[in-house]
Chain A
């Protein structure tokens, strides 16, 4: 059957058969780099278009509908506009940090793509601490945001950056704890192992109530981690105009913007992998007819379907809820989410030890 795995394998075989191993590996690196950048920009285009259409649908509007059929090229036109715009550096800004910040945010968003499994056997790097790697790298973006806020020499930016720092550092904890719940159940940090452990049913079905709680906490925490409404305090349009990227223009602004959407994709993909089985089709039990029918749907469709469903949920949040205040945001994390997820982790461990899960 046609699959991304076969394509990747045949490319690799051809490369290693034609060139000597070192050159083949270098060529592979180059291909992966181009693919990652391509995916990065494609995701930006697709997700921004999706956000505009979803918001339009929720707000009784049509959304973009002039550039191309149904306005699909609108994002492309906007990106072109941003590329040709002048990237200004304000007076009094720390030039090095100011110009470096968007790249740190972008690179940290891009590197997380490495351990994600996009389809069966289609993955850039099957590192044995994949989940840990994602959690570690995703917290690097806060450095870029703090740098942007501080270097801009703008008070709005500074306030936004400080809020963002407090927010990301605290929500990392409950996101991490809810990830740990699945790690405990599947017994591995490796992405492929976690997906393989869901062959006879996704964790959200197998793991009883504690996994549902972990899933809900995970979704809330990653929404906060990616600075999305109702936790968009770092940008807080009505309070801080644009928060940490107030002073950015042109492509530097676009990098922040793209990084935000790629981050959403990454955390939703992680949610899909951990709780909804990643590329694993919907299976109940082993060897049933139902499973065979489900297997006919390509694994990449399963993965992207689940991921985009989660992305839709997060967009739905944004266009429905008012924004929290900074103290309420931190209260929610430290007084509610963190204790609940700690107790929840204990429950999950109990389930794992006693083998209560299906």
Chain B
């Protein structure tokens, strides 16, 4: 048996037909409008129906895990922003938490609240971008611009406090890098007031649209058992009824003190995953609203040594990013740099279910399924 990719690369088999004579093999990507990055999918088609999807990775592999081994425990956090660039706060957060676990640092309450606020704002920004991109995948171009209108406000808030708009590098071991900007509360209030009105507009434009519902309902079904066995996490798994919100299961920072619901849908199709994210945005708004007026006074950073040395041992911590469970596994030999680092990225496991979900669906559905999985390729390909 040969792999499908070998057929594609073999010059003697460049005809339109695949091995069974009726199949057509198409390379989608690495440059393709709907893969949102350099993902390469080799799909086997029978007419319009998808028979098989084989993702090929490696086009944006930067060997981040290896690079981290030569960076100190303060430095390696900055590299992680470049993995899932839409949840860079959460990635930083997880790494900082893992180092704090090793050093047994208790971070001040103000830093905890700031971290949660930033996480939730990032989640909102990420879901907004996802919403626009999904609508673009199913053919509606306007929602993308509406989503960017709101996302721009979050980016401005981030820019004031963190100095950057995309790869924040704001979380450091012991707390956060700098205190909040004086305008922070005012601007977050303005954003929340604005976005609460606009999210209804989102529903009117896309959620209630009959064409959109036809394109997503019953498409890309994955059962609860399959979702678990593929290791799916985040909104993609919660659309199949899996309870997997790390914020609820293993609360970190102040997540056990705020009121919010874990959004679960049981239909397991694209529309369920869509609804999970839409409802999660409302939950995030509620978390931000609860915390924004209750930021405790005090230090934003615990006192730490200039050079961090993790005691010999193995440490793991996890957070819920916008895409699912993100984990950091650090093996320390007691030095200033990690001996080995492994990241558990949500996108990788979610992508592995793509083949299962797309079998027998149309090629247009595959695009919608990929949209609802919310893939960020640098997260899959570290």
Contacts and interface: CB of A to CB of B under 8 A. Distances in A.
Residues of A in contact with B, size category: 20 to 34
Contacts of A159: 45, 48, 363
A295 interface: no
A40 to B, nearest CB: 27
Interface in B1-55: 14, 16, 24, 26, 32-34, 45, 48
A321 B138 CA distance: 9
A92 B365 CA distance: 30
Interface string A325-350: 11110000000000000000000000
Contacts of B149: 60
Nearest to B26: A155
B364 A241 contact: no
A321 B140 contact: yes
A156 B25 CA distance: 11
Contacts of A321: 139-140, 209, 211
Contacts of B137: 238
Nearest to B212: A322
A227 to B, nearest CB: 13
Given A158-B16, A159-B363, A322 B135 contact: yes
Nearest to A59: B145
Nearest to B149: A60
Contact of B138 (A59, A238, A240, A327): A238
Contacts of A237: 33, 139
Contacts of A326: 48, 362, 364
B136 interface: yes
A247 interface: no
B363 A238 contact: no
Residues of B in contact with A, size category: 20 to 34
B146 A60 contact: yes
Contact of A327 (B14, B142, B209, B362): B362
Q: At the interface, is chain B mostly helix, strand, loop or mixed?
A: helix
Contacts of B364: 233, 236, 239, 323, 325-326
Contacts of B356: none
Contacts of A60: 145-146, 149
Interface in B161-183: none
Given A239-B34, A239-B363, A322 B139 contact: yes
Contacts of B24: 155
A249 to B, nearest CB: 16
A319 B142 contact: yes
Interface in A58-104: 58-61, 92
A156 B32 CA distance: 11
Contacts of B366: 239
Contacts of A58: 142
Q: At the interface, is chain A mostly helix, strand, loop or mixed?
A: loop
Interface string B297-327: 0000000000000000000000000000000
Given A322-B138, A325-B215, A241 B32 contact: yes
Contacts of B205: 320
B206 interface: yes
B141 interface: yes
B363 A230 contact: no
Nearest to B16: A155
Looking at B32, B138, B149, B365, the one whose CB has the most chain A CB atoms below 10 A away is: B138
Looking at B146, B209, B211, B367, the one whose CB has the most chain A CB atoms below 10 A away is: B211
A229 interface: yes
Interface string B338-382: 000000000000000000000000111111000000000000000
A325 B209 contact: no
A232 interface: yes
B42 to A, nearest CB: 12
Nearest to A321: B211
A156 B205 CA distance: 30
B76 to A, nearest CB: 36
Interface string B196-210: 000000000110010
B214 interface: yes
Nearest to B34: A238
A307 to B, nearest CB: 24
A322 B206 contact: yes
B148 to A, nearest CB: 8
B140 A320 contact: yes
A42 to B, nearest CB: 26
B211 A322 contact: yes
A283 B138 CA distance: 43
A116 B362 CA distance: 40
A324 interface: yes
A239 B146 CA distance: 22
Contacts of B33: 237-238, 241
8 contacts: A60-B146, A155-B26, A156-B26, A230-B139, A238-B139, A239-B367, A321-B140, A325-B365
Interface of B: 14, 16, 24, 26, 32-34, 45, 48, 135-142, 144-146, 149, 205-206, 209, 211-212, 214-215, 362-367
Sort A-B residue pairs by CB-CB distance and give the 3 closest, nearest first: A323-B139, A59-B145, A322-B140
Given A321-B211, A323-B139, 19 more contacts: A55-B141, A58-B142, A59-B144, A60-B146, A155-B16, A229-B141, A233-B364, A237-B33, A239-B363, A241-B32, A322-B138, A322-B209, A323-B138, A323-B211, A325-B362, A326-B362, A327-B362, A328-B211, A328-B215
